[in-house]
Amino acid sequence: MVGEDLMEEGTQTQMNGAECLVRTLVAGGVNVCFANPGTSEMHFVAALDRVEGMRCVLALHEGVATGAADGYARMAERPAATLLHLGPGLANGLSNLHNAMKASTPVVNIVGDHATWHRAYDAPLTSDIEAAARPFSKWVRTSPNAKSVAADGAAAIVAACSPPTGVATLILPGDTAWDMGSGIAQVPPIPERRRVDSKTIEEAVTVLRSGEPTLILLGGVALRQRGLELASKIARKTGAQLSAETFNARMERGAGRVPVDCIPYPVDHAVERLRGFKRIVLAGSKRPVAFFAYPGKPSLLAQPDAQFHTLARPEEDVVHALEWLADELGANDCAADVASLDPPAPATGRITDIGIARSVAALMPENAIVVDEGITASRNFLPPTHTAQPHDWLRNMGGSIGIGPPMAVGAAIACPDRKVIALQADGSFMYSVQALWTQAREQLDITTIVFANRAYAILRHELANVGAANVGRKALDMLDLGRPDIDWVSLARGMGVPAVRAETMEEVNRGLELGLSSPGPFLIEAVM
pLDDT 10s digits, 49-75: 899 999 999 999 999 999 999 999 999
- Give the count of beta carbons closer than 10 Å to the beta carbon of residue 480: 15
Residues of the chain with CATH 3.40.50.1220: 198-333
pLDDT band at 500 (very low <50, low <70, confident <90, very high): very high
pLDDT band at 455 (very low <50, low <70, confident <90, very high): confident
Q: 460-498, pLDDT tens digit by residue?
A: 777 777 877 677 888 777 878 888 999 999 999 999 999
What is the mean pLDDT of the segment spanning 225-248? 98
Q: How does the average pLDDT of the chain come out, rounded?
A: 95
d(CA 130, CA 86): 10
pLDDT at 452 over 80: yes
Residue 430: predicted pLDDT:
96
Residue 5: predicted pLDDT:
40
Residue 268: predicted pLDDT:
95
Partners of residue 370 on adjacent β-strands: 393, 421
- The two most distant CA atoms of the chain are separated, in Å, by 76
Helix (H, G, I), strand (E, B) or coil at 190: coil
What is the mean pLDDT of the segment spanning 311-335? 98
What is the CATH T-level fold of the domain 353-527, as seen in this structure?
Rossmann fold (3.40.50)
Query: How many CA atoms does the CB half-sphere of 241 hold within 13 Å?
Result: 17
> Which CATH number is correct for 198-333, 3.30.70.2660, 3.40.1350.10, 3.40.50.620, 3.40.50.1220?
3.40.50.1220
Query: How many CA atoms does the CB half-sphere of 173 hold within 13 Å?
Result: 22
- Give the count of beta carbons closer than 10 Å to the beta carbon of residue 393: 23
Whether the CB-CB separation of 432 and 405 falls below 8 Å is answered with yes
Entry pTM: 0.94
DSSP code, position 498? -
Residue 458: predicted pLDDT:
74
pLDDT at 10 over 60: no
DSSP 320-338: HHHHHHHHHHTGGGSPP-P
Residue 49: predicted pLDDT:
87
Q: Does domain 2-178 have CATH number 1.10.3080.10?
A: no
pLDDT at 11 over 50: no
pLDDT band at 6 (very low <50, low <70, confident <90, very high): very low
C-alpha dihedral over 248, 254, 259, 260, to 10 degrees? 20
What is the mean pLDDT of the segment spanning 176-190? 96
Q: 413-439, pLDDT tens digit by residue?
A: 999 999 999 999 999 999 999 999 999
Query: How many CA atoms does the CB half-sphere of 81 hold within 13 Å?
Result: 33
pLDDT band at 459 (very low <50, low <70, confident <90, very high): confident
Residues of the chain with CATH 3.40.50.970: 2-178, 353-527
Residue 291: predicted pLDDT:
93
